[in-house]
Amino acid sequence: MEVKPAGAKRFIAKPPSDIRLFLLFGADEGLIRERGDALVRQVVPEPGDPFRLADLDGDAVNADAALLYDEATALAFGGGQRAVRVRRLTGRIAEAVIDMVREPAGEARIVLEAPGANRKSAIVAAAIGCAAAAAVPCYHDDGRALPELVREIMREAGLRPGPGVVDYVADRAGGDRALTRREIEKLALFVGAVAEERPDAGSGGGQAAEPKPVDLAQAQSVVGDTALLTLDSLVDATFEGRMADIERMLQRVRQEGVASGTILRAMAGHAVRLARLRGLVGTGLDPVSAARRLRPPVHFSRQGSLARQARIPQRVLAAAMERIAEAERLTRRSELPDTAVCDRVLSGIAAAVRRG
């Protein structure tokens, strides 16, 4: 069966009992992992239980699909339903794995995480066509949903955001749930927040801790280092035409676990911001003053770079936006590797900027 994006959250929270195999696919690896965690916990509350949970690597399963079959048909020592989870099932997926999706074996709950797959992939089509399987899309949160996601995670982390904080964090995270959660957790630790309690049914619950206020200055001092700071550097290198830096920064960003979809969304958001910057410069402001006027605010360390990027001709900027939009479509709807699509687009934008 096919699960529509709008109904995926409700579906994961309470999946039908006749679904034994769940295929999580799409560009948002953070959301894939989050939903995989939820599906496994429903069957195996203790994730470290070796008798009821088999946690497999996607490359190993692709090389030997019998691993998946053996684990799916094994019985749990001591009783209870088992769960089989396959992480990062990427590249050319073995036909034997796709056959398993068409006809799931055993009684275990099978969770396959395929971040490189899209709706045209053979494995997704197999899940859609099977009554005992579900294809669940996991795409980045859009511009309307992302601020609400940030508020929800901040509430869970025991934070009360002040003016501008939600927009700043949403802008920095680029729609990637894993990065969003990681950055908010660091912010909560910085201000000493206590995570929201989730009392067991029937318990008194106790008194919830008071949320810790967090202001924009605190958010700017914590959110945006490591992966996000490197992602900003990659964005700036691309739109300044620094070809020599792009490959090195791409490698660093991917080492931090940032997916190609997140990189493309960051590029798209930055292109929109540059269009706004050009509009402010058109009113008579100098580029540096215009960069300071942007909202959400630009970190002071990047204002000089944005001032230089304000000189990009409008036709080059418009072409870059079209390139990025087409790349996002390709990563969702074609069999092309998303890393290759992303790398080619960044190089193309940088080359166009250099030509002027």
Tens of pLDDT along the chain (356 residues)? 999 998 999 999 999 999 999 999 998 888 899 999 999 999 999 877 889 999 999 999 999 999 999 999 999 887 889 999 999 898 889 999 999 999 999 999 999 999 878 888 999 999 999 999 999 999 876 666 778 889 999 999 999 999 999 988 887 766 667 778 888 988 999 988 777 654 444 444 455 678 999 998 898 888 765 556 678 889 999 999 998 889 888 888 887 778 888 899 889 989 998 999 999 998 988 888 888 888 777 766 677 888 889 989 999 999 999 999 999 888 777 667 788 899 999 999 999 999 98
Residue listed under structure tokens 């002027």: 356
Q: Pick from 302, 171, 166: which is nearest to 233 by CA?
A: 302
Q: Which two tokens stand for residue 60?
A: 């190993």
Q: Which two tokens stand for residue 342?
A: 């992303």
Strand ranges (E), 146-304 = 159-161, 212-214
Instruction: Give the DSSP H or E segment for 170.
Output: helix 165-173
CB 15 within 8 A of CB 22: yes
Residues with Cβ within 8 Å of 40's Cβ and at least 6 positions away in sequence, in order, are 47, 53, 83, 85, 109, 111
CB 29 within 8 A of CB 116: no
Whole-angstrom CA distances from 122 to 116, 137, 254 are: 12, 14, 26
Whole-angstrom CA distances from 216 to 25, 273, 293, 298, 307 are: 35, 19, 15, 12, 23
What is residue 141's predicted lDDT score, i.e. its pLDDT?
A: 67
Q: 5-137: which CATH number, 3.40.50.300, 3.40.50.2300, 3.90.1150.10, 3.40.47.10?
A: 3.40.50.300
Residue listed under structure tokens 């979809």: 261
312: left (phi over 0), alpha (psi -120 to 50) or beta: beta
Residues with Cβ within 8 Å of 14's Cβ and at least 6 positions away in sequence, in order, are none
Instruction: Determine the Cα–Cα distance for residues 219 and 293; give it in Å rounded to an integer.
Output: 18
Question: Domain 225-356: which CATH class?
Answer: mainly alpha
The residue extents of the domains of the chain are 5-137, 145-223, 225-356
Whole-angstrom CA distances from 89 to 57, 86, 114, 193, 350 are: 7, 7, 5, 36, 32
What is residue 337's predicted lDDT score, i.e. its pLDDT?
A: 79
What is residue 198's predicted lDDT score, i.e. its pLDDT?
A: 46
What is residue 203's predicted lDDT score, i.e. its pLDDT?
A: 47
What is residue 199's predicted lDDT score, i.e. its pLDDT?
A: 44
| 124-147 b/e (C-beta count within 10 Å ≥ 16 → b) | bbbbbebebbbbbbbbbbeeeebe
Residues constituting the chain:
356
Residues with Cβ within 8 Å of 125's Cβ and at least 6 positions away in sequence, in order, are none
190 three-state secondary structure: helix
CB 224 within 8 A of CB 235: no
Q: 145-223: which CATH number, 2.60.120, 3.90.1070, 1.10.8, 3.30.420?
A: 1.10.8
Whole-angstrom CA distances from 238 to 12, 189, 353, 354, 355 are: 38, 33, 8, 10, 13
Q: Pick from 24, 18, 20: which is nearest to 3 by CA?
A: 24
